[in-house]
Structures are given as C-alpha cells and as structure tokens.
Amino acid sequence: MPSGVALEEANRGFLQETAALTGAISRVLTDVVSDFLGLLGLPPVDVHVPVDKSYTRDLVIRTLQAGMDLGAVPISVAARVFQTQLGAAYSDAELERFLAELEAREQVHSFLTSPPLDNDEPEEEAEVAA
C-alpha cells in the first residue's frame, strides 16, 4: 500500500497533467471555434475547459469528517479547511465569527453540564445542616 506522501505526489502529478491537458484542449477549441466564427464574419472567442475538482473536494470533506469523528481533527481546523473548499463565499471574518460563536456555545454547554461545586449549597440548607 502506498504511503500518504506517495499518494499526495501522485495526486499532484495527476492534477498537473489534467490542467495541462485542459489547457491544450482549450487552446485547440479556441482556435477552431474562432476560425469558424471568422468564416461567419463574427469575432473570435476564448473557449475554456474547466477542471472538475468535485471528487477532490468531496474526498477532503469526507476525510475531515472522519478525522472529526475520531477526535483527531479539531473543529476549528476542519472549519478552516472547509473554508478553502468554499472559496470567496466564506470570508475570514465569517469564519472567525463562526468559531467564536462555537466556542461560546461550548463554554455554555460545559458550564451547564458540569457538576455543582461543593460551595454551591443554598444558604438555608447550610444553616439546617449546622
């Protein structure tokens, strides 16, 4: 079984080859379509063939979820990685606000679910006990 580093390098190489191939296809299509449009007396256009990265995005999200389920990836780290998957749709300010709200909720939950302290007895009960 290949190591994580070997898989990362293989994936990087695959993505580079894919980007190069889509770039070459885009150039050929731009030339062909522009030539055809020129015959019709229309201006040339640029054709762009995008690289579908949904598989990579889905893999990253599944890996983050598995890491969170195991307790190996803190939610703050997962949120930052998730932000990169969303791009400009999720700003740094929104991420920081989300993490601050999450931390506040966790503190409240921790406070509400913690056992009472020994000195938390009501005064009346303390007087009866004396």
Where are the chain's structural domains?
Answer: 1-49, 52-130
Cα–Cα distance, 63 to 66 (Å, whole number): 5
DSSP 8-state class, residue 54: H
Q: What is the tens place of the pLDDT at every residue in 94-124?
A: 888 988 998 898 889 888 888 877 765 556 6
Q: What is the tens place of the pLDDT at every residue in 28-66?
A: 999 999 999 999 999 999 999 998 878 888 888 888 899
Q: Could you give the C-alpha distances from 17 to 12, 24, 101, in angstroms and in order?
A: 9, 11, 42
* pTM (whole model) above 0.75: no
Q: What is the DSSP string of 61-125?
A: HHHHHHHHHHT-S-HHHHHHHHHHHHGGGS-HHHHHHHHHHHHHHHHHHHHHHSPPPGGGS-HHH
DSSP 8-state class, residue 56: H
